[in-house]
């Protein structure tokens, strides 16, 4: 992501580090109220003592629109974004949410958020860890005896995609439309999905390497149900949806419809020029705790900002969740526990997740201080260029307007463009399959 943008390396790493030190966002721990200080005798007028927020660039909403239009130019019928920041909320839409009725994209409409669901699952699991019901570094088989063929796979390996359990969705969706039609009405048990993964060779030794796999978060769902003793739907509801009053967020597996005003999703077949497939109604049973949550842009921003502000997890668990390792060699993309971190061209780090289910691409990210958040969606999939273009909303929203380029000579600009190659799209995203 940041894929569509250039990394601006003009600012040296040392300068970025120095600025990060000065402008360090409040962590959940440091945001704790300060101990009261003794009142001082009134003196001459003093400068206001209220803490001043570190200045952040205003979102470039024209840039957001450009990214939404680029998603449409790359095959999305519509796209939208919602930015929440200290100055309030700004939304942008493009195109349609329904190709048949022609209704315009609508930022109050619900959609399938795909793997952003992984962050929801991770929050629930980490709350259970905090309650002493599970340990992050304990073997999964301690809680689910005999489930996995290797006692060395830990709970943390699942959350960091380091278990080596093969991603069963790669074979399932090797042929996009036939793969989707074969499962759109199916209801899988967790065991069946894990069984599909275990029928394939494992990809790495436990803990050895990052390898994104939906299987990990299916096992997370099993762990949640085992430790909590109730269905995951109830756990999402009680621990996230109710406390944050997320009125348009639900986990209705295996119900295939999306309630209320919603965006219709359109899947691109593999065959160039073939008509789009309306993929709105599906059980999403192939994804479950790895990707079956439904939400809307306002709820997603509420979720990511609350998470970053420490409203869902203890400081210890939030620290664990935001402790990341690289997902590739660009040094801009990282993964924590069910959470991505992207380092943007302006040095700002944002935490959240991406999502892809048939017909829907999603981004939901917030800054570490929880003061700014962006969610964006395009109602298409199996069209990597549309997802890459949609990712441009992050740069525009969090980095603001790029300074107008000086007009360098042709020679220097050629040199500059060689020095700043566009980043390839993240290897995890399904457009690479
Ligand atoms: C499955 C294939 C995509 C979709 C997938 N989705 O694994 C999970 C997710 C839940 O959201 N993961 C991504 C299909 C990595 C994320 O974090 O963003 N592709 C499509 C194909 C390809 O069928 N043959 O594009 O709709």
Q: What is the pLDDT of residues 55-64, one digit of tens each?
A: 899 999 999 9
User: Mean pLDDT throughout 262-268?
Assistant: 99
| d(CA 430, ligand 1 centre) in Å | 5
Per the CB < 8 A criterion, the answer to whether 138 and 326 are in contact is no
| d(CA 9, ligand 1 centre) in Å | 31
User: Mean pLDDT throughout 255-266?
Assistant: 98
Task: Determine the atom of ligand 1 nearest the C-alpha atom of 212.
Answer: 15
How many other CB atoms sit within 10 Å of the CB of residue 351?
A: 25
Q: Where are the beta strands (DSSP E) in 250-402?
A: 266-267, 277-278, 294-295, 325-326, 333-335, 340-343, 349-357, 360-367, 373-378, 380-381
- Report the nearest-CA residue for atom 20 of ligand 1: 382
- Report the nearest-CA residue for atom 21 of ligand 1: 176
| d(CA 287, ligand 1 centre) in Å | 9
Task: Determine the atom of ligand 1 nearest the C-alpha atom of 172.
Answer: 23
**Which residues, including other chains, have CB under 8 Å from residue 237's CB and lie 6 or more apart?**
251
Q: What is the pLDDT of residue 429?
A: 63
User: Mean pLDDT throughout 284-294?
Assistant: 99
Closest among 183, 60, 113, 5 to 378, alpha carbons compared: 113
Task: Determine the atom of ligand 1 nearest the C-alpha atom of 340.
Answer: 17
Q: What is the pLDDT of residue 406?
A: 72
Closest among 71, 87, 88, 91 to 79, alpha carbons compared: 71
Q: What letter does residue 389 receive in the DSSP assignment?
A: H
Evaluate if residue 286 carries a pLDDT over 70: yes
Per the CB < 8 A criterion, the answer to whether 269 and 277 are in contact is yes
Q: What is the pLDDT of residue 402?
A: 85
Least confident of 47-61, 136-150, 324-338: 47-61
Q: What is the pLDDT of residue 46?
A: 39
Q: Between 433 and 225, whose confidence is greater?
A: 225
**Which residues, including other chains, have CB under 8 Å from residue 359's CB and lie 6 or more apart?**
112, 264, 265, 266, 267, 277, 278, 279, 280, 379, 380, 381
- pLDDT by residue (tens digit) across 82-105? 999 999 999 999 999 999 999 999
> Which residue out of 159, 364, 427, 430 has the highest number of ligand 1 atoms within 8 Å of its CB and is therefore the one to mutate?
430
Angle between helices 384-399 and 61-73 (to 10 degrees): 180
| 3-class DSSP assignment, residue 278 | strand
User: Mean pLDDT throughout 343-363?
Assistant: 98
| d(CA 243, ligand 1 centre) in Å | 29
User: Mean pLDDT throughout 332-336?
Assistant: 98
Q: What letter does residue 300 receive in the DSSP assignment?
A: H
| d(CA 431, ligand 1 centre) in Å | 8
Angle between helices 297-308 and 116-130 (to 10 degrees): 40
| d(CA 360, ligand 1 centre) in Å | 9
Closest among 283, 236, 270 to 127, alpha carbons compared: 236
Least confident of 2-6, 75-79, 303-307: 2-6
Task: Determine the atom of ligand 1 nearest the C-alpha atom of 358.
Answer: 26
User: Mean pLDDT throughout 290-310?
Assistant: 98
Which member of 115, 163, 250, 279 is catalytic?
115
Closest among 233, 236, 197 to 119, alpha carbons compared: 236
- Report the nearest-CA residue for atom 16 of ligand 1: 355
- Report the nearest-CA residue for atom 25 of ligand 1: 382
**Which residues, including other chains, have CB under 8 Å from residue 356's CB and lie 6 or more apart?**
114, 115, 362, 381, 387, 429, 430
Evaluate if residue 418 carries a pLDDT over 80: no
Q: What is the pLDDT of residue 405?
A: 73
Q: Measured between alpha carbons, how far is residue 90 from residues 70, 117, 372 in Å? A: 19, 24, 11
Evaluate if residue 67 carries a pLDDT over 90: yes
Q: What is the pLDDT of residue 54?
A: 60
pLDDT > 90: percent of the chain? 80
pLDDT > 70: percent of the chain? 81
Q: What letter does residue 5 receive in the DSSP assignment?
A: S
User: Is 121 noted as a catalytic residue in this protein?
Assistant: no
Ligand 1 in contact with 265 (CB < 6 A)? no
Is the bond preceding residue 79 a cis peptide, omega within 30 degrees?
Answer: no
User: Mean pLDDT throughout 222-241?
Assistant: 98
- For the chain, the average pLDDT equals 87
Least confident of 30-39, 42-51, 377-386: 30-39
Per the CB < 8 A criterion, the answer to whether 133 and 306 are in contact is no
Query: 163-193 burial, b if ≥16 CB within 10 A, otherwise e?
Result: bbbbbbbeebbeebbebbeebbeeebebeeb
Chain position carrying tokens 């629109």: 65
Go through the domains of the chain in sequence order and give each one's CATH number: 61-402 (3.40.710.10)
Evaluate if residue 256 carries a pLDDT over 70: yes
């Amino acid at each position: 992501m940041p894929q569509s943008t250039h990394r601006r390396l003009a600012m040296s790493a040392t300068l970025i580090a120095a600025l990060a030190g000065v402008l360090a966002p409040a962590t959940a721990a440091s945001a704790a109220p300060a101990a009261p200080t003794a009142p001082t005798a009134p003196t001459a007028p003093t400068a206001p003592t209220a803490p001043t927020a570190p200045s952040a660039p205003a979102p470039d909403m024209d840039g957001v629109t450009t990214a939404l239009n680029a998603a449409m130019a790359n095959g999305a019928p519509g796209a939208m974004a919602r930015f929440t920041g200290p100055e309030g909320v700004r939304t942008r839409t493009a195109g349609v949410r329904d190709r048949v009725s022609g209704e315009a994209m609508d930022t109050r409409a619900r959609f399938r958020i795909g793997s952003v669901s992984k962050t929801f699952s991770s929050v629930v699991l980490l709350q259970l860890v905090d309650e002493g019901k599970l340990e992050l570094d304990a073997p999964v088989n301690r809680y689910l005896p005999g489930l996995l063929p290797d006692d060395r796979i830990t709970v943390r390996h699942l959350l960091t995609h380091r278990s080596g359990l093969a991603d069963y969705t790669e074979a399932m969706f090797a042929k996009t439309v036939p793969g989707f039609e074969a499962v759109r009405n199916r209801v899988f048990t967790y065991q069946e999905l894990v069984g599909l993964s275990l029928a394939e060779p494992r990809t790495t030794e436990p803990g050895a390497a990052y390898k994104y796999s939906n299987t990990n978060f299916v096992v997370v769902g099993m762990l949640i149900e085992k430790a909590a003793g109730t269905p995951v739907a109830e756990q999402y509801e009680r621990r996230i949806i109710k406390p944050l009053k997320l009125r348009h967020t639900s986990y209705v597996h295996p119900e295939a419809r999306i309630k209320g005003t919603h965006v219709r999703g359109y899947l691109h077949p593999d065959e160039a020029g073939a008509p789009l497939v309306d993929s709105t109604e599906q059980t999403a049973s192939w994804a479950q705790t790895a990707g079956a949550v439904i939400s809307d842009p306002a709820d997603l921003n509420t979720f990511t900002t609350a998470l970053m502000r420490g409203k869902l997890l203890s400081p210890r668990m939030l620290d664990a969740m935001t402790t990341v390792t690289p997902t590739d060699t660009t040094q801009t993309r990282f993964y924590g526990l069910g959470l991505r971190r992207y380092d943007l061209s302006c040095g700002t780090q944002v935490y959240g997740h991406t999502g892809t289910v048939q017909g829907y691409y999603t981004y939901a990210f917030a800054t570490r201080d929880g003061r700014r958040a962006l969610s964006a969606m395009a109602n298409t999939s199996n069209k990597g260029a549309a997802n890459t273009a949609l990712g441009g909303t992050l740069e525009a929203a969090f980095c603001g307007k790029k300074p107008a380029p000086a007009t360098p000579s042709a020679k220097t600009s050629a040199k500059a463009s060689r020095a700043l190659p566009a980043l390839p799209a993240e290897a995890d995203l399904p457009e690479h399959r």
